């Protein structure tokens, strides 16, 4: 297992066994509670297919090392990834009110020894350069005030040869029925052009020197009229100059 920064380990000890701090901003607490409810209800069907897709698409089944889920919130995706990989996964989220729930979930699912959590701003990540083997994120990037800064930080944090898979929406293996149900409940939030968003993200990445880029806009058979979202996969070169 790779060595984690000491602040990750300390935060894991602290947030794994205590309630959210008493002086936590009430807005942060309420936002965390809403997202936790969504992860257990509306969005619950997404996490297993997404974890399975990531493991297959990124060839993680036998991988070692460190993965970061940026904006993981309740950490449900991390727990599913832990159960399908040997990696250590870090919940890097701006809102620490998620972390007690995250550690309880990881403990209940038997993977607490392979997770950490740290408060992190995507635009200024608290990790050294060339640190993570994998960075994933779902439903987060479109909230970043400075999207380019966030993607630059992800690229900086990736090890040479590392891969990022960042997006919003659903994996291609999510069955159409639950995808339609989720979209019906969230219709007003999903009126965007996923193809245009993918082109914009790819152009931004190319603008600061990223070359290995793939844009994914899933559209499984029978999913007409359902926005499955947009995902962008990019890799840092395994050799040569490292940004």
> Do 97 and 36 meet the contact criterion of CB atoms below 8 Å apart?
no
Mean pLDDT of 89-108: 98
Q: What is the pLDDT of residue 190?
A: 63
Q: What is the pLDDT of residue 189?
A: 59
Q: Which of 168, 16, 139 is nearest to 71 (CA)?
A: 139
Asked, for residue 1, whether it belongs to a domain, the answer is: no
Q: For residues 51 and 152, give the distance between their C-alpha atoms in angstroms, rounded to a whole number.
A: 24
- Residue 212 pLDDT more than 80? yes
pLDDT band at residue 103 under the 50/70/90 scheme = very high
Phi first, then psi: give them for residue 89, nearest 5 degrees.
-115, 135
Q: What is the pLDDT of residues 146-157, one digit of tens each?
A: 999 999 999 999
> Which range marks the domain in which residue 158 is found?
6-19+45-235
Asked, for residue 26, whether it belongs to a domain, the answer is: no
Asked, for residue 38, whether it belongs to a domain, the answer is: no
Asked, for residue 40, whether it belongs to a domain, the answer is: no
pLDDT band at residue 2 under the 50/70/90 scheme = very low
Q: What is the pLDDT of residue 5?
A: 40
The pTM for the full model equals 0.88
Asked, for residue 212, whether it belongs to a domain, the answer is: yes
Domains held by the chain: number? 1
Asked, for residue 174, whether it belongs to a domain, the answer is: yes
As beta bridge partners, residue 215 has: 232
Asked, for residue 184, whether it belongs to a domain, the answer is: yes
**Angle at the Cα of 18 (from 51 to 13), degrees rounded to 5?**
65
Average pLDDT, the chain: 89
Give just the sign of the alpha carbon dihedral 72, 77, 83, 86. Answer: negative
pLDDT band at residue 186 under the 50/70/90 scheme = confident
Q: What is the pLDDT of residues 112-147, one digit of tens each?
A: 999 999 999 999 999 999 999 999 999 999 999 999
CATH of the domain at 150: 3.40.50.150
Q: What is the pLDDT of residue 6?
A: 35
Share of the chain above pLDDT 90, in %: 84
């Amino acid at each position: 297992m790779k060595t984690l920064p000491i602040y990750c380990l300390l935060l894991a000890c602290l947030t794994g066994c205590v309630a959210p701090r008493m002086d936590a901003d009430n807005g942060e607490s309420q936002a965390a509670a809403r997202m936790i409810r969504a992860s257990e209800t509306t969005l619950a069907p997404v996490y297993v297919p997404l974890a399975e897709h990531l493991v297959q698409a990124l060839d993680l089944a036998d991988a070692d090392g460190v993965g970061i889920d940026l904006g993981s919130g309740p950490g449900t995706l991390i727990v599913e990834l832990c159960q399908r990989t040997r990696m250590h996964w870090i919940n890097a989220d701006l809102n620490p009110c998620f972390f007690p729930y995250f550690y309880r979930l990881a403990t209940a699912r038997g993977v607490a020894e392979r997770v950490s959590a740290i408060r992190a701003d995507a635009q200024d990540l608290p990790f050294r350069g060339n640190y993570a083997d994998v960075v994933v994120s779902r439903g987060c990037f479109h909230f970043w005030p400075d999207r380019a800064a966030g993607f630059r930080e992800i690229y900086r944090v990736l090890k040479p040869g590392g891969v990022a898979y960042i997006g919003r929406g659903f994996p291609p293996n999510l069955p159409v029925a639950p995808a339609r149900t989720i979209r019906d409940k969230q219709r007003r939030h999903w009126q965007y052009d996923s193809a245009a968003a993918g082109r914009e993200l790819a152009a931004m990445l190319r603008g600061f020197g990223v070359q290995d880029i793939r844009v994914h806009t899933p559209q499984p058979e029978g999913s007409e009229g359902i926005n499955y979202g947009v995902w962008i996969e990019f890799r840092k070169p395994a050799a040569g100059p490292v940004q």
